[in-house]
Structure 1
Amino acid sequence: MSRPKNDTFLRALLKEPTDYTPLWLMRQAGRYLPEYCETRKRAGNFLNLCKTPSLACEVTLQPLARYDLDAAILFSDILTVPDAMGLGLYFAEGEGPKFERPLREEWAINNLSAPDPYEHLGYVMDAVSEIRRALDNSVPLIGFSGSPYTLACYMIEGQGSSDFRHIKGMMYSRPDLLHKILAVTADAVTSYLNAQIDCGAQAVMIFDTWGGSLSAAAYQEFSLAYMQRIVAGLKKEKDGQRIPSIVFTKNGGLWLEKIAAIGCDAVGLDWTIDIGEARRRVGDQVALQGNIDPNVLFGTPETIAAETRKVLDSYGTGNTGHVFNLGHGISQYTPPENVSVLVDTVHAYSRQLRK
């Protein structure tokens, strides 16, 4: 299998020279796009959209039809893994994801096992294969998963949380039980990402959305150590092509050097850290992905262009090692035309900087 016609994103992750800075957007297929909302309405609900490969493929491709993006990302949800573990995922209207059977009891935790990705998450693998065929080798496809700690937050809390008292209560009263959950989940994520690679994902990303809510010591023990285990277990090549990995901890700027040292190819940055400072701290050890504040996209076209140039200027000179992205997912209220300004500015200005 040859590299995609536009392989700029993969080359940037591997710190190879590129003609411009590539970009994709976290949550680029989402509710800010009217075409996505129409497909979601056809699906009936969000879970049906995730679990119907043809519809997941359709929404994955929608932002690429509208914008000149340098990568597609599989349309799915991080909570498909705990759902496959039997926790009973459902989405309450206007309330976000919930689990019918949160992990609180010792017997339930001891019974937890990693699902076979092909048997229990076959719809994701079918979507990956279908998206790769539909992309026709135009741009790379990114596969992804949540981090073990972030998944455990939902698995133990039973839903989103503002204080994480159940998982942190377990961490400080029965750390052995939390380690059991994290170990099983790390095995599940490793096999899930490797299955995505086997089905056609050309890069993979681990989303550690809630790792930044931990203390420094707890982050290393309960989040980073398990992501390191996953990265070590990932397939590094497929059909002679290197498969890069990206690790993103929201609010993880304090621990950049430690994240960069776990063996991933790139570190994702949220908007709270200056990307130039991040580059000085990690040197050439990893590529960097990020990191404009998603709310910049509510500004005027002039402001969006100016803020975009600031990020590129801050990253600095050289023609490699930067993938432009938002510092977190795009808001559902973002005007679609403002994304065009961002995309066009990244491509035009980064080419200018390389001259």
Structure 2
Amino acid sequence: MNKTESITTEKKIHIKNDLYLRALRGEIVERPPVWMMRQAGRYLPEFMSIKEKYDFFTRCQTPELASEITVQPIRRFGMDAAILFSDILVIPQAMGVEVEMRANIGPFVPNPIRIKSQVKDIQIPETKEALGYVMDAIKATKELLNDEIPLIGFAGSPWTILCYMVQGQGSKTFDLAKEFCFTETEAAHNLLQKITDTTIDYLKEKVIAGADAIQIFDSWGGLLSPTDYNIFSWPYINQIVQAIKPLAPVTVFGKGCWFALNEMSKSGASALGVDWTCSPKNARYLSGGNITLQGNFDPARLMSPPEMIKNMVHQMIDEFGKDKYIVNLGHGILPNIPIDHAKAFIDAVKSYPNS
């Protein structure tokens, strides 16, 4: 029996608040569920107190810390889903690529991949061993959540992972990553496939460990033209969707990828994430109108007064429609967002449509 066959497709555990899972299934709901991308992290004072004691990857690699960070926002705000505290760059680390988190720089790869001979040396690891600490964090988090709400596991898209592995750090253009794809195309596809194979195995292990749903983040997909997106990003994301969707619901979030919503909607993914540059009306139109959508409040709009946040959130729900919809931000929450403004966002959804 292979790994796919060994994973139970129906969760035996009853989750008390299954609003998020019901929305992913497209069911009629009393209100849309709500969570926030990057909700476990840098805008919370309790997170910052842990950050002062432990460096970034220590937090990721220590199950007790990762699980505690994951549930912190749930205790404070009561979102309808938790997302595991981790990072997309644990994948290249597991593949033998050194990744650091440097102050004032962010992710940093000391020895980026720039020539095709380096791709041959990239490993496809046994993720259960190489990333066992993530699975342990999922199990620890499930205990803390006590079946109250679902837990989301995630991974970066292969294109987004390649961007960091080749560029070596964050970038507004990822020009070196693009150059590698356009000049060393065969090597780029070999690297993308290795990342894809590793990610599929990784996400299967996450479902085995207890993740109730999966999200794929294509943070830098919008930097590609629609033509190149269909060459270097979407085919690899689609491989992941096809492998994981029989095991758990999958959401695909491509920042700046409105042009791909129609193609994405045909993949069998349970939901598509939308950023704040695409209106609800256009998102419904482009995605064909039948798939659950997630988004798309501008994270910077959480700086607005709480009463305005409430009004804007209710308007956003009205425009998307309460069904086949998950309320979220259009990207990760910013570190300078006041706590009561984040609370206003969550509470606005919970009060819908009664105020």
Aligned counterpart for 2:250 among listed residues 245, 253, 257: 245
Secondary structure (helix, strand or coil) at the match of 1:87 reads: coil
User: Kindly tell me: are residues 259 and 235 of structure 1, through their superposed partners in 2, closer, same or farther at Cα, counting changes over 3 Å?
Assistant: closer
Residue 85 in 1 paired to residue 95 in 2? Answer: yes
Distance 1:251 1:106 in 2: 29
Residue 33 in 1 paired to residue 44 in 2? Answer: yes
Q: CA deviation at 1:351?
A: 5.5
Secondary structure (helix, strand or coil) at the match of 1:86 reads: coil
Larger mean Cα displacement after TM superposition, 334-343 or 136-145: 334-343
Larger mean Cα displacement after TM superposition, 254-263 or 52-61: 254-263
Larger mean Cα displacement after TM superposition, 226-235 or 57-66: 226-235
The residue type paired with residue 41 of structure 2 is G
Distance 2:101 2:157 in 1: 20
Residue 68 in 1 paired to residue 78 in 2? Answer: yes
Q: 2:4 maps to what in 1?
A: none
Distance 2:320 2:131 in 1: 38
Query: What are the within-5 Å matches in structure 2 for residues 85-164 of structure 1?
Result: 85-164=95-174
The residue type paired with residue 343 of structure 1 is I
Q: CA deviation at 1:235?
A: 5.4
Distance 2:283 2:116 in 1: 41
Query: What are the within-5 Å matches in structure 2 for residues 1-355 of structure 1?
Result: 1-42=12-53, 44-234=54-244, 236-237=246-247, 243-316=248-321, 319-350=322-353
Q: CA deviation at 1:87?
A: 1.1
The residue type paired with residue 131 of structure 2 is L
Distance 1:286 1:172 in 2: 33
The residue type paired with residue 277 of structure 1 is N
TM superposition score normalised by structure 2? 0.94
Once the two structures are superposed, residues 224-269 of structure 1 have per-residue CA deviations (whole angstroms, 9 ceiling, x without a partner) of 01000111111523xxxxx210000000112210111222110000
Distance 2:176 2:286 in 1: 35
What is the RMSD of the two structures over their aligned residues, measured on CA atoms?
1.3
Distance 1:235 1:256 in 2: 18
**Does structure 1 retain, via aligned residues, the 8 Å contact 2:107–2:170?**
yes
Alignment coverage as a number of residue pairs: 344
Once the two structures are superposed, residues 109-159 of structure 1 have per-residue CA deviations (whole angstroms, 9 ceiling, x without a partner) of 012222111111111110011101111100000000000000000000111
**Does structure 2 retain, via aligned residues, the 8 Å contact 1:228–1:263?**
no
List gaps (5 residues or longer) in structure 2. Answer: 1-11
> What percentage of residue pairs aligned between the two structures are identical?
40
User: Kindly tell me: are residues 83 and 111 of structure 1, through their superposed partners in 2, closer, same or farther at Cα, counting changes over 3 Å?
Assistant: same
Q: CA deviation at 1:172?
A: 1.5
Q: CA deviation at 1:49?
A: 0.6
Once the two structures are superposed, residues 7-45 of structure 1 have per-residue CA deviations (whole angstroms, 9 ceiling, x without a partner) of 000000110121111000000011110000011222x21
Secondary structure (helix, strand or coil) at the match of 2:293 reads: strand
User: Kindly tell me: are residues 137 and 81 of structure 1, through their superposed partners in 2, closer, same or farther at Cα, counting changes over 3 Å?
Assistant: same
Once the two structures are superposed, residues 150-198 of structure 1 have per-residue CA deviations (whole angstroms, 9 ceiling, x without a partner) of 0000000111112212111112212111101100000011111110000
Distance 2:341 2:173 in 1: 34
**Does structure 2 retain, via aligned residues, the 8 Å contact 1:194–1:235?**
no
Distance 1:113 1:87 in 2: 9
Secondary structure (helix, strand or coil) at the match of 1:248 reads: strand
The residue type paired with residue 329 of structure 1 is G
Distance 1:215 1:298 in 2: 32
**Does structure 1 retain, via aligned residues, the 8 Å contact 2:116–2:184?**
no
Q: CA deviation at 1:284?
A: 4.5
User: Kindly tell me: are residues 235 and 119 of structure 1, through their superposed partners in 2, closer, same or farther at Cα, counting changes over 3 Å?
Assistant: farther
**Does structure 2 retain, via aligned residues, the 8 Å contact 1:268–1:288?**
yes
The residue type paired with residue 147 of structure 2 is N
Larger mean Cα displacement after TM superposition, 292-301 or 255-264: 255-264
